[in-house]
Amino acid sequence: MADVEERLDDVLEKVLEESGGLGKLQWLLIFVIVGSKLAITWSMFMMTFAGSTPDWWCVSQNGTSGLNDSRIESLRSCRPPVNTSAAGDTCLSILFSNEKNTVVNEWNLICEEEWITSIITTMQFVGLLASGLIAGQVADLIGRKPTLLLSLTLLASSNLVCGFSYSWEMFAFARVLIGLACGMYLTVFFNFVLEFIPTKYRAMIMAIDTWPVNAALFGLISFWLKDWQFLHFATSLITIPFLLGTIMVPESFRWLVSHYKTEKAKKVIERIAFINGKEKPDVTKLIAITQKEAEAEAKKSYSILDIFRDSKLTKHSFLLWFIWLSSGYSYYAISFGVEELSGDLYLNIILLSTVEIPAQAVTWYFNNSIGRRWTCFMFYMVAAVGGSAVGFVQVLDPTNSHAIINVFAMMAKLGVAAAWAALKTFTTETYPTVVRNIGYGCANSISGVGAMVAPQIVQMVRLVL
């Protein structure tokens, strides 16, 4: 399999360069496919706002007029003050602040039901895990483009269902569907784009990742709308133009070649060359090699088992998957723990997102100067130092500890984001084309396990603190 891959890759790379390399079609594809990650980012970060808790008061004695007239209230207390004459040990009613509308005040998810918000977030990542396990296989079986279209269609519809939810159970089910859509998209989109890009430009394309910009925009739109339903409707709406744009882009010619669909691959290559203003490249050698290998392989279909047939690839896969697991946990633990940071929620969402923007550009430089592996190592060390510092400051509790924790949390977020960006390129280039989506999909799914654990750890920290 490795020998076949090497011969095909050499020819494919040459054909791509002759078709214009990084030309107009590639930039159009980047705009449509990478741009559609806006809706994915908003969907993934939705619970940072939708699951946040507005200020609320336990009303322990009825009043007749005015907020504080003839009634006793306790801020965020599940029981009335012990020194009151209120009958019983439960609140007569709960009064929420009108600063924002989240699922917490929508369905009174506080006190005994406080655990529900973290469970909803975890269920979203259950969907992410499930789809990642099968999306890679599906993308390698039916193609990159159909899988991407399916993910965006499911994303638009499930966000709409979320917005119309009339119970937290219905909302949680819709969040699972959103997780399925996000997992499917994240499994296929990266490889879909890279398979149109010459190898020498791939690290540069990774450096213009829009995820942190999209996350910062989510903080801004959350500040503007301040309503979980409107945010879901907005996310569904912005998915539609990118869904229509995806319909217009071609299927990956590398996938077509690896599945011996030479005539379709030839048409895609000619289309690339035409849009890029180049002459049609000679694909005779490509077709000859493909046909020869088709006869030898007898159109063999590949599965996850093929990863474990090569001992070296198996070892690398387990190491990479463990790192993806750790990345998923640390990244989303910081993201969903944003409510625990001091200061304004919306500002913290924006700051934790924008700190990633320079990380992407720096990753591109180091990927090309010291390589993928050492770039990952360096930035994971930055994340480790930042995370450890947060723990020490919490234990020691010095003056201005809240501000110090915020700074080190941002340092940790920057490190994880930069390292994960390098890891994605490293992982993609580890696998041959025929099992690339399968290997990458497994890694993406395993990161979902870490992401599933993250909200529960954040909830445990809240109870301890």
Take residue 441 and report the two structure tokens written for it: 């999909």
Is residue 108 situated within a structural domain?
Answer: no
Mean pLDDT value across the chain: 82
User: Is the pLDDT higher at 80 or at 124?
Assistant: 124
* Per-residue pLDDT at 118 exceeds 70: yes
Judgement on whether residues 354 and 273 belong to the same structural domain of the protein: yes
For residue 64, the model assigns a pLDDT of 44
On whether both 73 and 175 belong to a single domain, the answer is no
Where is the domain boundary, 65, 96, 127? 96
Confidence tier at 172 by pLDDT (50, 70, 90): very high
pLDDT(313) > 80: yes
Q: Strand 93-96's sheet: what is its strand order? A: 73-75, 56-59, 93-96
> What confidence tens digit (pLDDT) does each residue in 24-49 have?
888 988 888 888 999 999 999 999 89
What DSSP assignment string belongs to 215-282? Answer: HHHHHHHHHHH-BHHHHHHHHHHHHHHHHHHHHHSPPPHHHHHHTT-HHHHHHHHHHHHHHTT-PPPP
* Same-domain pairing of 90 and 79: yes
Which residue(s) pair with 93 in the sheet?
Answer: 59
Average pLDDT over residues 320-337: 86
Residue with tokens 């020498």: 200
* pLDDT (0 to 100) of residue 107: 94
Q: What is the mean pLDDT of residues 183-192?
A: 84
Q: Phi and psi (nearest 5°) for 85?
A: -95, 15
Six-digit token string for 199: 């190898």
The 10s digit of each residue's pLDDT in 203-240 is 677 666 688 889 889 999 999 999 999 999 999 999 99
Residue type, 46: M
Q: How many CA atoms lie within 13 A of 235 on its CB side?
A: 35
How confident is the model over 14-27, as pLDDT tens digits? 877 888 888 888 89
Residue closest to 229 by CA, chosen among 295, 162, 296? 162
107 within some domain: no
Could you please report the per-residue DSSP string of 318-352? HHHHHHHHHHHHHHHHHHHTGGGSSS-HHHHHHHH
pLDDT band per the 50, 70, 90 thresholds, residue 70? very low
pTM for the whole structure: 0.79
pLDDT at 233: 97
Which residue range forms the structural domain that includes residue 89? 56-96
Q: What pLDDT was estimated at residue 398?
A: 79
In a domain, 102, yes or no: no
Q: What is the CATH number of the domain that holds 368?
A: 1.20.1250.20
The answer to the question of residue 86 being in a domain is yes
Residue 1: is its pLDDT beyond 70?
A: no
Amino acid, single-letter form, for residue 176: V
How confident is the model at residue 89, as a pLDDT? Answer: 63
Residue 339 in this model has a pLDDT that exceeds 50? yes
2 has a pLDDT exceeding 50: no
Q: Could you tell me if residue 103 is inside a domain? A: no
**For position 346, what pLDDT does the model report?**
84
Distances (CA, A) of 210 to 8, 356, 359: 31, 10, 12
Task: Report yes or no on 101 lying in a domain.
Answer: no
Same domain, 36 and 79: no
- Taking only the tens place, the pLDDT of each residue in 263-281 is 888 888 888 888 888 888 7
Question: Taking the mean position of all CA atoms in its chain, how far away is CA 222?
Answer: 18
Region 93-117 average pLDDT: 88
Most confident segment among 185-189, 195-199, 379-383, 406-410: 379-383
CA distance 14 to 23: 14
Amino acid 198: pLDDT: 82
Residues 309 and 399 in one domain: yes
Question: Does one domain contain both 306 and 364?
Answer: yes
**Residues 152 and 192 reside in one and the same domain:** yes
271 and 344 fall within a common domain: yes
Average pLDDT in the 167-188 region?
Answer: 92
- The number of domains in the chain is 2
Contacts of 16 (CB under 8 A, 6+ apart): 196, 198, 272
Backbone angles phi, psi at 57, to 5 degrees: -130, 140
The answer to whether residues 154 and 86 belong to one domain is no
Span 387-444, pLDDT tens digits: 888 888 877 877 777 788 888 888 888 888 888 888 888 888 788 777 777 787 788 7
| Any domain includes 104 | no
Using left for φ > 0, alpha for ψ between -120 and 50, and beta otherwise, residue 249 falls in beta
| Residue 16 shares a structural domain with residue 85 | no
> What is the predicted pLDDT for the residue at 270?
85
Q: Are residues 285 and 240 in the same domain?
A: yes
Q: Please give the pLDDT value at position 73.
A: 63
Tell me if 456 is assigned to some domain: yes
pLDDT at position 4 = 46
DSSP-assigned beta bridge partners for residue 96: 56
Query: Do 377 and 232 have their domain in common?
Result: yes
Min mean pLDDT across 284-298, 324-338, 437-451 is at: 284-298
